[in-house]
Amino acid sequence: MTPATGPVTTVIFAGRPLPESVPLGTREDVGWAFAYTDEQRRSLIEEIKTELTGDGRQECAIYSWDRPCRSTMEYTRDELTGGNVWMNIGVAEFPPQGLTAVTEYGHGALVFHVEHEGGSRLFFGVNHDPFPSPPVIRYDTGGDSLFPRRSVFSLGRLHAAVEEYILTGQRPTNVGWTENRRSDLPRLDPRW
């Protein structure tokens, strides 16, 4: 392990699948991207800019902590579906806060989460110069929640916020923030 010179940055690219050509029972720490030094952090910033292009949906979760995040997974048979899947076996270490960046339709959105007793507090990025007709960006692919329309940014603003978070470990100041509960997020119209 490379010794840290400051906080360790962990980035989880949601679209990067785990390998499927391994024997059942294989256990490993998930292959996330880590940066221990300022040089590695700058390289990781460029990797994120390359990955989060807004072509299709891309998402990454970014954490800054005194150690790398980790989650141990096991490749096992899923009795429910009959297929083989990677399952979290319960060993997970994450800091109490992090930044998630989502891009879709050539634009992006940000959410900063802070874990506390009893749940999470979610702070959504606010564009103080909003687009007249921003695209709809899904909060997650598994549900019908959407980012608020005032939370949609240009890719340049999103990339700048991600860079600031990686370099400082603090919630970015180049965008505004507002706290929302997930239950208060706009929803997809079921008629779509």
pLDDT tens digits for 5-47?
578 888 888 766 666 666 676 666 656 788 999 999 999 999 9
Residue 192 has pLDDT above 60, yes or no: no
Q: Is the pLDDT of residue 90 over 90?
A: no
What is residue 81's predicted lDDT score, i.e. its pLDDT? 75
Helix, strand or coil for residue 117?
coil
Alpha carbon distances (Å) from 94 to 68, 162, 183: 8, 18, 24
| Cα gap 41→66, rounded to integer Å | 14
Query: Is a pLDDT exceeding 50 seen at residue 62?
Result: yes
User: Residue 137 above 50 pLDDT?
Assistant: yes
User: For 148-169, how does the pLDDT look when each residue is reduced to its tens digit (9 = 90+)?
Assistant: 999 999 999 999 999 999 999 9
Q: Minimal CA–CA distance to 111: which of 49, 67, 51, 59?
A: 59
Q: What does the pLDDT look like over 99-114, one tens digit per residue?
A: 999 999 899 999 999 9
**CA dist 135 → 105, 111, 124, 181, 183 (Å):** 7, 17, 16, 21, 21
Q: How confident is the model at residue 64 (pLDDT cuts 50, 70, 90)?
A: very high
SS3 (DSSP) at 167 = helix
Least confident of 49-58, 66-75, 85-94: 85-94
Q: Give me the chain's average pLDDT, please.
A: 84
3-state secondary structure 59-103: EEEEEEECCCCEEEEEEEECCCCCCEEEEEEEEEECCCEEEEEEE
